[in-house]
Amino acid sequence: MHDELAELSGLARVIADPQRTPAMLAGEAQQLRRLVERHSSLLIDGTQHMTEGESILPSGSAISPVQAALCAREPLRSAAFIQGLAQAVSERLHDERPVRVLYAGCGPYALLALPLMALFSPRQLQFSMIEVHQEALDAARALVAKLGFTEHVSDFICTDAAAYRIAADNTPDVIVSETMNTALGKEPQVAIMRNLAVQAQAAALVPAAVTVHLGLARRSPAEPCIDWGVVFTLDAASMLAWQREEGSHLPGASIRLPDVLDQPPRLLTRIRVHGSIVLGDYDCSLNLPLALPGKPNLQPGRLLQFYYRLGSEPGLAFHAK
């Protein structure tokens, strides 16, 4: 494994380099993905049903272990999250104890954690891994052990992160979760971060913010999307404000449609991973413009009042006025 660990360490140093942008790191992210696939006990041979093992939780859909593994095949997304997490950890390094990272939804590869384990010693960095699927958690544990990083992990916990209670003596310095879909629909990112962030209000969040905008998809690759404004934000400030919210919905914003509407409105998802590291329109599958729920035939000039629906089928919805 000496050569493999040397490869991983080299990739980790390059991906974590703040002088590089995620767009410059596609090759390294693909090399990292191939490395973890070679050593993972979870085999992806094309014969599996991708959704086999998917769970419907009270907070949303937990994708299957295979689907979670396939997320590693989006290089820009992987590079942005790994680089953002590395920066968040670096900013919190100190001599008194390791930086504690709570990784909610680590999947079978623990992809965001492994490069950091190659960069930092167990005295500098400790992970608590949460995964709702035992198969995925077992695969992550085996991969961590195979690469020699067992001492970097304080806990492997099989549970729903949206209901997990953080131990008083293990409050994290960083919380990372990549349990999301386009426009924060279907998957439990909102519920997970809302649960964990209020228990560790001083922790850095990765991603730091996810904003969903209303606008129009680009007409050509050379043109930007048209943005009419933010309809929903997931960040530390909004989650603190939601502590007073009870019931099945979270508040969103109102947007009035323009007087001329020559194509259907779309939800646009933008992600600020950490600091200046962002994933914008079309950067990965999370950033593809999404049709409004129900694909309504909206009239120009209508006022749309948005809200976020919680529960097992989470996502944005709206009332037209």
77-131: pLDDT as tens digits: 999 999 999 999 999 999 899 999 999 999 999 999 999 999 999 999 999 999 9
CA-to-CA separations, 118 to 13, 89, 121, 233, 245, in angstroms, rounded: 9, 13, 8, 33, 41
pLDDT at 53: 86
Q: What is the CA radius of gyration of the chain?
A: 20
Rounded to whole angstroms, the Cα distance separating 300 from 86 reads: 45
Rounded to whole angstroms, the Cα distance separating 51 from 91 reads: 38
Rounded to whole angstroms, the Cα distance separating 146 from 30 reads: 20
Closest CA to 127 of 175, 77, 88: 175
pLDDT at 297: 85
- The per-residue pLDDT of the chain, averaged, comes to 95
**Which residues are bridge partners to 281 per DSSP?**
none
Greater confidence (43 vs 136) lies with: 136
Name the strand (E) or helix (H) holding 130.
Answer: strand 125-131
| Mean pLDDT, residues 3-10 taken together | 94
pLDDT at 2: 82
Q: Say if CB 198 and CB 153 are below 8 A apart.
A: no
pLDDT at 321: 87
96-108: pLDDT as tens digits: 999 999 999 999 9
Q: Is the dihedral of CA 222, 227, 231, 232 positive or negative?
A: positive
pLDDT at 48: 62
Contacts of 49 (CB under 8 A, 6+ apart): none
Per-residue tokens: 58:
């009270």
**Which residues are bridge partners to 306 per DSSP?**
318
**Which residues are bridge partners to 61 per DSSP?**
56
32-63: pLDDT as tens digits: 999 999 999 998 866 567 778 899 999 999 99
185-196: pLDDT as tens digits: 999 999 999 999
Q: Is the pLDDT of residue 8 over 90?
A: yes
Strand order in the sheet with 315-320: 249-256, 303-309, 315-320
Q: How far is CA 117 from the centre of its chain?
A: 19
pLDDT at 103: 98
* CATH code for the part of the protein at 2-320: 3.40.50.150
* Domain ranges for the chain: 2-320
Q: Is the pLDDT of residue 198 over 80?
A: yes
Percent of the chain with pLDDT over 70: 99
For 189-276, strand residue ranges (E) read 204-206, 209-216, 226-235, 249-256, 266-274
Pairing mode, strands 249-256 and 204-206: unpaired
Rounded to whole angstroms, the Cα distance separating 59 from 132 reads: 12
This prediction's pTM: 0.96
244-294: pLDDT as tens digits: 888 899 999 999 999 999 899 999 999 999 999 999 999 999 999 999 988
